[in-house]
Structures are given as structure tokens and as C-alpha cells.
Amino acid sequence: MRILIIEDESQMAEALAQVLRKDNYSVDLAFDGEHGLDCALAGIYDIIILDIMLPKIDGITILKELRKCGIRTPVILLTAKGEIEHKVEGLDSGADDYLAKPFQTRELLARLRALGRRSGELHYDNTLRFEDVEYNPYSLDLRCRGKTFKLTLKEGQLLELLLNNKMMILPTTTIIERLWGFDTKTEDNNVQVYVSFLRKKLKQLNSIVTIRAIRGAGYVLVKNEDVTRDV
């Protein structure tokens, strides 16, 4: 499950994200309304936790805009004390639930589970995993440590192949056949290019997983023992 938190109280948002990540949710954060709306419009989240009072664009406007654009992602509104009118307006504008601040984390977790069941948790079904990496071949989402990158189709196909053959050396010719077909003029250096794209993304995600080239043999997905991570 992938959650977007739009909340300008950054400490509170970070703390919340930490709790959710511990509970195996992938979490992205936005600290103002404009950035939040941009993220939410991508339509890639299972649930959005949305504060009402936000800099740049307020929560209710964001919610209305999302619904107007046909984005049906379940939204939990966070309301501060004395925002009863906002709460009513929010629910009218298509929010699925609301939570009054301050709230108990376990209360929020319960609401998330309820909404998650409703939205079907489709994103989880076909996830491939290796060490700290999760990849969903349908959404092309590569996740690691609470961050996510959208892969291109070819990058995704390559990663899927590697994940389905963990710790095995995949010959370059096999990779070319699987990604470009038999009748192809694709050369080894095309594979090299996509391998380097993927490596770069894994590195940016701070993953302990990398792709090792075995000279004259091919490529293998490995846990990189040499990596020093900044956590």
C-alpha cells in the first residue's frame, strides 16, 4: 500500500511516516498544498492523508480538484479543533473519512486498514522482492526504504527478469532475447545502458541491492556487501 501524506507540520508528518513505514506502508510526504496536489494527481496512491490548513493550496481545494480530475483515491482528512465546517465540506467534497487532531496513531492505522480493504490492495498482489527492494511489474514501481521510482518499461522488464532469477547469472544473450525478442539487432551495449540506469536508480534509493556484471558471462542481481548506506 502506497500512502501520500500532505501535511505542513513536517515533524508530525515525518513521525507519522515513520510509524506507517514500520507497518510496511510505502509513504511519500508533501509539506505544502501545491506539491501535495501534484503528487496526488499522479494517481499512484492507495490512500491520501490530507491536512486541511496547508500553505499554497488548502486541503479542501486539493480534494475537490482531485475528484474533478477523476482521481478516486480514498482520502482521510485531518481536521484541527474547531474545523467542524471544514469537516462537513470535506466529506461533501468526496473525502472518505476524517480524523480530528490530535489523534492516536493506532486509530489512524485502523482507519487505513479499513480503507485499504475497500480499495482492494491491488498494488500488493504481484510484488517481487529481494532484500530491501520491492518491484511491482504492473505499476512499474520500484520501492525501497519508503521511496519509490517509476521505471521505464524496459528497465522494469530487465529488473523483473533479474528478480525472477535472483542470484543467478543471466547471460546477456538471454536478456536481449527476453527484452527485445529473437529477431533483433540489439547489441550488448544496449543491455549495459539499461543495467546502468537501473543501478543508478537502486543507488539513489539507497538500496543494498545492485546489479553485478560478470565479465563474459552476464549479469546478476546481488546484495552489495560493499555499500555503505546513509540511513
Footprint on this chain of Ca ion (rule: CB under 5 A): 8, 51, 53
Residue 7 CB, shortest distance to Ca ion, in Å, is: 6
Residue 146 CB, shortest distance to Ca ion, in Å, is: 22
Q: CA dist 170 to 163, 178, 215, 220, Å?
A: 11, 11, 12, 6
Residue number, 51 or 83, with CB nearest to Ca ion: 51
Name the residue among 73, 197, 224 with its Cα closest to residue 142.
Answer: 197
φ and ψ at 61, to 5 degrees? Answer: -65, -40
Residue number, 82 or 216, with CB nearest to Ca ion: 82
Burial tier of 112 (Cβ tally within 10 Å: 0-12, 13-18, 19+): buried
Residue 212 CB, shortest distance to Ca ion, in Å, is: 46
Q: Rounded to whole angstroms, how far apart are CA atoms 24 and 15?
A: 15
Residue number, 8 or 132, with CB nearest to Ca ion: 8
Taken in order 137, 143, 147, 153, the sign of the CA dihedral is negative
Q: Rounded to whole angstroms, how far apart are CA atoms 42 and 89?
A: 24
Residue 101 CB, shortest distance to Ca ion, in Å, is: 9
Neighbours of 6 (CB within 10 A): 28
Residue number, 83 or 160, with CB nearest to Ca ion: 83
Residue 62 CB, shortest distance to Ca ion, in Å, is: 12
Residue number, 51 or 134, with CB nearest to Ca ion: 51
